[in-house]
Amino acid sequence: MTSNALFQMVFYVGVLLACVVPLGRYMTMVFTRRVPGLENVLGPVESLFYRLCGVRRDDEMMWKQYSLAVIAFSLVGILFGYLLQRMQGMLPLNPAGMAGVTPDSSFNTAISFVTNTNWQGYGGESTMSYLTQMLFLNVQNFVSAAVGIAVVVALARGFSRKNSTTIGNFWVDMTRSVMYVLLPLSLLLAVMLVSQGVVQTFDNYASVELKEPVTNAEGESVATQTIALGPAASQIAIKQLGTNGGGFFNVNSAHPLENPTPWSNFLEMISILLIPAALCYTFGEMVGDTRQGWAILLAMTFVFVGFLGLTYVFEQAGNPALAGLGVDQTASELQSGGNMEGKETRFGIANSVIWATATTAASNGSVNSMHDSYTPLGGMVPMVLMQLGEVIFGGAGSGLYGMVVFAIVAVFISGLMVGRTPEYIGKKIGAYEMKMASLVILAPCVMVLVGTAIAVSAEQGRATIFNPGAHGFSEVLYAFSSASNNNGSAFAGLGANTPFYNGLLGVCMLVGRFWVMLPVLAIAGSLAAKKSVPVGPGTLPTHTPLFVFLLISVVMLVGALSFLPSLALGPIVEHLILISA
């Protein structure tokens, strides 16, 4: 590892951890309704919004009411997004004259953005009008992230309350997430991105003359190039902060108008994990023990750093097939070395790897390099991070509540070892909580494996796998790992914008979002109704290094047992083929 790469990785993790306490403490104030300075400005707007929507901010919900509100809100979002895409050809703010989106693509995209997945089977600049980008895609970037944050806040209340039937008000939690957290941070980041040259305009696409005319596939001379523009900076800010990841342009943050400079690259990278990391501290404060939040954050960070190092080592080692041909792939003053295929030379291997690891550790899915061009083992690491359930930081809110569920499983296992009723943060963990936790952990695994099996077995699924053999299997496995865990990134080489894949991946996104979210709310309701149990001599401390190790072990063990056979058929066998060539 070069000293420059090491510095960049340490600097990235250091800045991220330095932001945890201030942002985490601020979010605690937001959800306990005590933000004196900002509430003087936003408070009247918030109250007016509640009056217009008929929301009584002090009326709390039981977990079933909370869940019903989440589902109803999401279904309305899916329907609105579908109709808007289908009708965009007749609507304003469409200077490029984009036609309506096809039914299957509209179905997939509507589900994708509402579930915070942001899987994109289309090219943004060639498919979506400015109106669709702003009114649906960008709005869902805010509210889908806010839904995840609201659910983890409700779960924290489940731990902190006793003998209670309610876990908060969904409409208030979501509104405050948007108004007090996501909007201010996005506004700040958007301004910073514009200062770096990220485009933000309503002008029509620009047409420029080429220095040298070229000949197209039909043999015609082409002397001009059309450059896509649009209100990109505002969408990029929330796509990163809300762990959404859907690019304004087709190549996402590898596009020079979406990510033009090293500073824009760093700002966008740090934004991916900013809120998920800070929410760990918020969770600790809301349950009355910040050590619990630090333990979870420590577990996430250890796994993230380990996988980051692995990805860098695999990519810097280069392509084994090229090494066998005597190609020099070592880093030097004259070259970066390693595997630079699919990576921007302005970012290099280190920044590409940091982004790839962060975006798949979180359920972000944005990219500044092509994951499909990574070495087999280098590309396997982002895939594994998604297959762990998107709990290593994960999405805004969703990653934390997923990791808390793994912590519940960890204390249950430890309780079985010592013959005591398991307890976590002052609440006894019973059969009901374990049943719900099993649904949370197993549902995405089932969708990944079953979806992949269907795709490689069906003629329609195999028809658009353009890379044969092990790598083609990896592309399909990656797609279903991404959709079922609400990530949204992809390997290229798979033609996924077909009725078959749009429909099947859409179902996986729905299950991966709501089959996880609803059991978490059920756990929150069950815990809130229980009394708090004082710490005794037989209680397992859940803030110690021992518990952090136990938590990491449970997460890794579930991932290994679930996906090692499928990984052996894809990236592992591809690596063996390369080194034996």
Q: pLDDT tens, 261-300?
A: 999 999 999 999 999 999 999 999 999 999 999 999 999 9
What contacts 151, CB < 8 A, 6 or more positions away?
A: 70, 397, 398, 401, 517, 520, 521
Quick one: average pLDDT of 238-251? 92
Output the CA–CA distances (angstroms, integers) from residue 573 to 206, 538, 581, in the order listed.
46, 47, 12
pLDDT band at 492 (very low <50, low <70, confident <90, very high): confident
Residues 222 and 3: their CA atoms lie apart, in Å, by: 45
pLDDT band at 429 (very low <50, low <70, confident <90, very high): very high
Whether 581 has a pLDDT exceeding 70, the answer reads: no
Candidates 528, 554, 358; CA nearest to 432 is 528
Whether 225 has a pLDDT exceeding 90, the answer reads: no
At 330 the pLDDT is: 86
pLDDT band at 3 (very low <50, low <70, confident <90, very high): confident
Residues 31 and 76: their CA atoms lie apart, in Å, by: 25
Residues 400 and 279: their CA atoms lie apart, in Å, by: 7
Report yes or no: 243 and 391 within 8 Å, Cβ to Cβ. no
Quick one: average pLDDT of 466-489? 95
Residues 298 and 292: their CA atoms lie apart, in Å, by: 10
Quick one: average pLDDT of 178-198? 96
Report yes or no: 230 and 207 within 8 Å, Cβ to Cβ. no
At 174 the pLDDT is: 97
Would you list the DSSP string of 29-77?
HHHTT--HHHHHHHHHHHHHHHHHHT--TT----HHHHHHHHHHHHHHH
3-state percent breakdown (helix, strand, coil) of the chain, nearest 5: 65, 5, 30
Candidates 255, 111, 59, 275; CA nearest to 182 is 275
Q: pLDDT tens, 527-536?
A: 999 998 887 7
Chain centre to alpha carbon of residue 559: 18
Q: Which residue has the tokens 């990576």?
A: 343
Residues 501-532, buried b or exposed e (16+ Cβ, 10 A)? Answer: bbebbbebbbbbbbbbbbbbbbbbbbbbbbeb
- Tokens for 554, please give them: 């449970």
- Percent of the chain, pLDDT > 70? 100
Question: In one letter, which amino acid is 263?
Answer: W
Quick one: average pLDDT of 240-257? 91
Residues 366 and 88: their CA atoms lie apart, in Å, by: 25
pLDDT band at 455 (very low <50, low <70, confident <90, very high): very high
Residues 232 and 135: their CA atoms lie apart, in Å, by: 13
Averaged pLDDT score across all residues of the chain: 93
Quick one: average pLDDT of 69-96? 95
At 538 the pLDDT is: 73
Task: Please return the burial class of 202, using the count of CB atoms within 10 Å of its CB with bins 0-12, 13-18 and 19+.
Answer: exposed
Question: In one letter, which amino acid is 490?
Answer: A
- Tokens for 113, please give them: 């953005």
Alpha helices of 88-169 — where are they, by DSSP H?
103-114, 124-127, 130-132, 139-160
Helices (H) and strands (E) in the chain — how many of each?
23, 4
At 481 the pLDDT is: 97
At 484 the pLDDT is: 96
> What element of type H or E holds 384?
helix 376-387
- Tokens for 379, please give them: 């590309």
At 228 the pLDDT is: 87
522 three-class SS: helix
Minimum mean pLDDT range among 129-133, 184-188, 224-228, 461-465? 224-228
Report yes or no: 115 and 513 within 8 Å, Cβ to Cβ. yes
